Amino acid sequence: MKKVLVIDDELSIRLLLREIIEDIDMEVFEAETAIVGLQMLEEMQFDLIIMDIQMPQMNGLDAMRKLRELADTPVFILTAFSHLEGVVENLGVEIQGFIEKPFDIDELAEKIKKQVEADNDGQLEKKLNLLNA
């Protein structure tokens, strides 16, 4: 079963995302702070991370830098601010996309499924390339 890590300080958002993700047959792990999320990432691998940008203790942008030191897991940034795309690009941190609040539940579910499927295709291609080398 695919694993998705949701990092958000708002319980209501985490619960809503849990419901959406479980409905598409993926396992959900939650962290209420970026620090807890990074600790979880040190202990296990995830197929996708959905992370809020504004959180106490450590914001999502700082967490992205540290996250990339640990893994190359695909990341969706959850935000109410549409202008952050340029900020993240300037940091040189790769993300797979933005999810703007409020979000459409069906669109989000489809976006999550497509990302996990695309990542699976990429992993399979990498494995095949290694076998053929």
Domains observed in the chain = 3-132 (3.40.50.2300)
What's the full length of the chain, in residues?
133
Q: Which of 14, 24, 49, 6 lies closest to 106, judged by CA? A: 24
Q: Which of 51, 5, 50, 8 lies closest to 27, judged by CA? A: 5
Residue 42 CA to residue 18 CA, distance in Å, equals 21
Residue with tokens 């695919």: 2
pLDDT in tens, 64-106: 888 888 888 999 988 776 665 555 555 556 777 778 888 889 9
Residue 75 CA to residue 28 CA, distance in Å, equals 14
Residue 101 CA to residue 34 CA, distance in Å, equals 19
pLDDT in tens, 1-58: 999 999 999 999 999 999 999 999 999 999 999 999 999 999 999 999 999 988 888 8
